Amino acid sequence: MPARGGGAVPGGGRPLIITEDPLLLDDLLRLCAAAGAEPYVHHAVPEQSGAGGGHGGRGEGGAGATAGVGWDSAPLVLVGDDAARRVRGAPRRDGVLLVGRDLDDPFVWQRAVEIGAQEVLRLPDAEALIVDRIADVVEGAGRPALAVGVIGGSGGAGASTLACALALGAAKAGERTILIDADPLGGGMDVLLGGESAEGLRWPDFAASRGRVGAGALEESLPELHALRVLSWDRGERVFVPPAAMRSVVAAARRRGGVVVVDLPRRVDEAVAEVLAQLDLVLLVVPGELRSVAAAGRVAAGVRMVARDVRVVVRGRCPDGLDAEGVAGLLGAPLAGEVPVEVGLPGRVAEGEPPGARGTLARFCDGFWQRALGAAQGVPA
């Protein structure tokens, strides 16, 4: 199962500002506030966390000094032009930005190289970019979500049902869970969960998104059904969601942490490719019959062009002479498991019970998350 790197970001998601320029400091504090961040402020390279340091807001010392952050432990360092000389001897690290106002300074790149800055940003032109960089560390202070996509190898494979059941299982396991319906022709995951009238935003509300989507704002705006958040389609006319909007929304969902489950359409277009590129694992659902296996081969070829890890879930009984391992072998992908067909499941769903609430499908999902979440946390599967 996929493993995710890293735990919580050191410094608690609070950036470090190093400058003595009062006007630049005012600008950077304003941009931090816009990104929802309370920065540490220093005039030079601070000692390591625990040895004393700056506090949120202006200046140094004060009540927050004992909770200071060191040069190495801050998730992001914003170095003012005026402080570049004082920072020159600090250890090299990622996440250092050199910030100033003089667009015509011929020596700015030399100073950036001397302090190991990754970017040189000039105000006011780079204000939006700086807010994005700060917001990245604020929202990314924890482990990113484990993102799993589910795609049908053929029509009627049961991919949407499995995606819904997996999301329900993750929420039941105590994970913060977002279920994303990326298939505009699928009928709506909120309908499958019995929440088509639930209040909250749907895909048409995000169709115009081009830049950053806030992770917290996204989660809070979506309908909450069965202890998970759901991004689905409305009942109106089909709305085209551009690839950039799809990418921004899925990225925001991942930054929130926990689990993201995406129900994917079988046709891999540019927007779907943006989603696939952000997934840790894609489950290809294949009915246990030869015609479905042949169709799944074409779907798998398109998915593999973008996805990092594709695995097969065989649904239903295979014909004589073929088993689940054989199906996976024909498709050239590892077997993630088998899901027997539940005869009474469609009736229970029609009566309002969400897929995976009980039965063999629920047991499959419980086992899947035990392995996947354990691997993500470094526990042998």
The per-residue pLDDT string of the chain (381 residues; one tens digit each, 9 = 90 and over) reads 665 544 444 456 789 999 999 999 999 999 999 888 899 999 888 864 333 344 454 444 332 333 457 899 899 999 999 999 999 989 999 999 999 998 788 899 999 999 999 999 999 999 988 988 898 888 765 678 999 999 999 988 899 999 999 999 999 999 999 999 999 888 889 999 989 989 999 999 998 776 678 888 899 999 999 999 999 998 888 888 999 899 989 989 998 899 999 999 999 999 999 999 999 999 999 998 889 999 999 999 999 999 989 999 999 888 777 899 999 999 999 999 999 888 888 888 888 889 989 999 999 999 999 999 887 665 544
State how far Cα 226 lies from the chain centre: 21
Alpha-carbon distance of 309 to 284, in angstroms, equals 10
**DSSP per residue over 136-183, as a string?**
HHHHTSSPPPEEEEEEESSTTS-HHHHHHHHHHHHHHTT--EEEEE--
Phi, psi at 147, each rounded to 5°: -105, 120
Report in angstroms the alpha-carbon separations of 101 from 18, 67, 80, 121, 288: 15, 31, 9, 8, 64
Which residues fall within 8 angstroms of residue 85, CB to CB, at 6 or more apart? 111
Structure tokens belonging to residue 346 = 């469609």
Structure tokens belonging to residue 123 = 């105000």
Q: What is the pLDDT of residue 326?
A: 92
Which segments of the chain does DSSP mark as H helices, in order?
22-34, 84-87, 108-115, 127-139, 159-172, 189-192, 203-206, 215-221, 243-255, 270-276, 290-304, 324-331, 345-350, 359-376
Q: What is the pLDDT of residue 58?
A: 47
pTM, entire model: 0.73
Which residues fall within 8 angstroms of residue 349, CB to CB, at 6 or more apart? 161, 192, 355
